[in-house]
């Protein structure tokens, strides 16, 4: 398999070399020969900068922070709302949130999406034994929200319509 791939790459390189030597080089050589040494160097540097610029990644898209519907924190004491049913979990000694999700069959992709927006205080990474975690789920088993109490107060994560999570508090 590797030998076949290597042969294809070598064939592609040979084709490029033939195309350059028969079509590009004869036309480019007289133009470059008429330039001074300094102009050739500047042209080579400019070409390298253009190639590097094309290979660099573009700007990262800004996240959509439009809030469509979020239940106020006062409603979190109810067991269900318009976006799902709240389930309470108690954190065991030494247990991480990832272990809690795995042990209860919850989708870990949702947890990882929340961790990516949790902020510098990292409330999802600093759990203590006996701490209560409430997770809102739809009937299909999708996580639509998570709340927990920590030393700074209540932390709430809500799923947006596009599937990403937003930390509200």
Q: Is 64 domain-assigned? A: no
Same domain, yes or no: 36 and 107:
no
User: pLDDT at residue 75 above 50?
Assistant: no
Indicate whether 65 belongs to any domain.
no
Range of the domain at 20: 2-55
Listed residue (43, 98, 70, 78) closest to 167, CA to CA: 70
> Which candidate, 166, 156, 149, places its Cα nearest to that of 113?
166
Tally the domains of the chain. Answer: 2
pLDDT of 41 above 80: yes
SS3 12: helix
10 Å Cβ neighbour count for 160? 17
Are 48 and 92 part of one and the same domain?
A: no
- Residue 51's CB is within 10 A of a number of other CB atoms, namely 9
For the residues 51-70, what does the mean pLDDT come to? 71
User: Would 60 be classed as within a structural domain?
Assistant: no
Work out the percent of the chain whose per-residue pLDDT is above 70. 87
* Cα distance between residue 124 and residue 116, in whole Å: 10
Rounded CA separation 20/8 (Å): 18
Average pLDDT over residues 103-126: 81
Q: Are residues 48 and 77 in the same domain?
A: no
């Amino acid at each position: 398999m590797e030998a076949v791939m290597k042969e294809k790459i070598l064939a592609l390189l040979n084709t490029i070399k033939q195309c350059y030597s028969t079509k590009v080089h004869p036309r480019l050589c007289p133009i470059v020969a008429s330039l001074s040494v300094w102009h050739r160097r500047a042209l080579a540097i400019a070409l390298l900068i253009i190639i590097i610029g094309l290979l660099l990644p573009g700007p990262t898209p800004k996240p959509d922070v439009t809030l469509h519907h979020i239940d106020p924190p006062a409603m979190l004491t109810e067991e269900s709302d318009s976006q799902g049913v709240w389930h309470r979990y108690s954190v065991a000694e030494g247990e991480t949130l990832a272990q809690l999700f795995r042990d209860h069959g919850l989708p870990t992709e949702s947890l990882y999406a929340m961790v990516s927006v949790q902020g510098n205080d990292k409330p999802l990474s600093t759990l203590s034994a006996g701490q209560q975690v409430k997770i809102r789920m739809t009937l299909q088993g999708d996580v639509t929200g998570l709340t927990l109490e920590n030393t700074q107060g209540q932390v709430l994560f809500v799923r947006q319509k596009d599937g990403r999570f937003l930390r509200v508090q």
